[in-house]
């Protein structure tokens, strides 16, 4: 993508995220029971969505690398993991902010919280272990296999509130678990869906920027390897 394309994408992303924030604070009604703290929900779920989407993207790119060995796929996979870790941490932090007044604790070993923490740590370990491999090809193969196996933690995290007994609200599809469901008014639903869309666009923007940076880093590394031969 050319420089002008990035500028346009950056502006669109900023406007969408700003619009989402505006809907959260000025359009969505105040929840009767939870009050203002419920507004964290829109950012919390959107961040968790981007985190999971990033890890799935990383696994897909890892599979592409194992199939054709193209460096671009490895760069994409690594970039997606970095973004996924960032947004998963944001999801954990915003979830804790919501939990403190609602559950009267910053953290509890609820199945959803526990699986989210494990999923995030799996990819933090990936980032650390990858840095310990000097050979680019070995590092890329290791990364590809790791992210594919690590992706198993994503559906486990998503389904944890449906498989196990949990106090975490079910936002999407809650058959048989109505007591844990969070019912949204029409304006809340509009705000929720728009927030998911805005954060998805932000994910694409960040990913493209990180891929560009990754390509530059890869070119520099290749030049260093040639110079050392």
Asked if 64 and 93 count as a contact pair (C-beta separation under 8 A), the reply is no
DSSP string of 33-85?
A: TTBGGGGHHHHHHHHHHHHHHHHHHHHHHHHHHHHH--HHHHHHHHHHHHHHH
Task: Give me the mean pLDDT over the 58-82 stretch.
Answer: 95
CA distances from 214 to 7, 27, 78, 106, 207 (A): 19, 39, 9, 36, 10
pTM of the full predicted structure? 0.89
8 CB contacts (<8 Å, ≥6 apart)?
Answer: none
Q: How confident is the model at residue 183, as a pLDDT?
A: 66
**pLDDT number for residue 177:** 46
The reported pLDDT for the residue numbered 173 is: 56
Please name which of 114, 95, 104 lies closest in space to residue 163, comparing C-alpha atoms.
114
Residue 32, pLDDT above cutoff 90: no
175 compared with 224, residue with greater pLDDT: 224
User: Whole-angstrom Cα distance, residue 179 to residue 26?
Assistant: 28
Chain segment 130-158, per-residue pLDDT in tens = 989 888 899 999 999 999 999 999 999 88
Cα 199 versus chain centre, distance: 9
CB burial of residue 180 (10 Å; 0-12, 13-18, 19+): middle
């Amino acid at each position: 993508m050319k420089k002008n394309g990035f500028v346009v994408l950056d502006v669109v992303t900023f406007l969408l995220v700003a619009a989402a924030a505006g809907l959260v604070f000025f359009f969505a009604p105040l929840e009767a029971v939870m009050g203002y703290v419920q507004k964290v929900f829109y950012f919390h779920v959107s961040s968790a969505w981007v985190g999971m989407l990033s890890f799935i993207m990383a696994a897909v790119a890892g599979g592409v690398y194992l199939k054709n060995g193209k460096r671009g796929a490895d760069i994409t996979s690594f970039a997606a993991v970095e973004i996924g870790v960032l947004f998963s941490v944001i999801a954990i932090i915003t979830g804790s902010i919501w939990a403190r007044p609602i559950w009267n604790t910053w953290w509890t070993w609820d199945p959803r919280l526990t699986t989210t923490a494990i999923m995030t740590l799996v990819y933090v370990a990936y980032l650390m272990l990858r840095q310990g491999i000097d050979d680019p090809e070995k590092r890329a193969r290791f990364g590809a296999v790791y992210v594919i196996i690590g992706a198993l933690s994503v559906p486990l995290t998503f389904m944890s509130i449906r498989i196990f007994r949990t106090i975490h609200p079910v936002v999407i599809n809650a058959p048989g678990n109505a007591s844990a469901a969070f019912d949204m008014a029409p304006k809340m639903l509009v705000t929720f869906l728009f927030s998911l869309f805005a954060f998805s666009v932000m994910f694409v923007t960040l990913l493209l920027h990180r891929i560009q940076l990754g390509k530059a880093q890869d070119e520099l590394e290749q030049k260093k390897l040639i110079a050392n031969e």
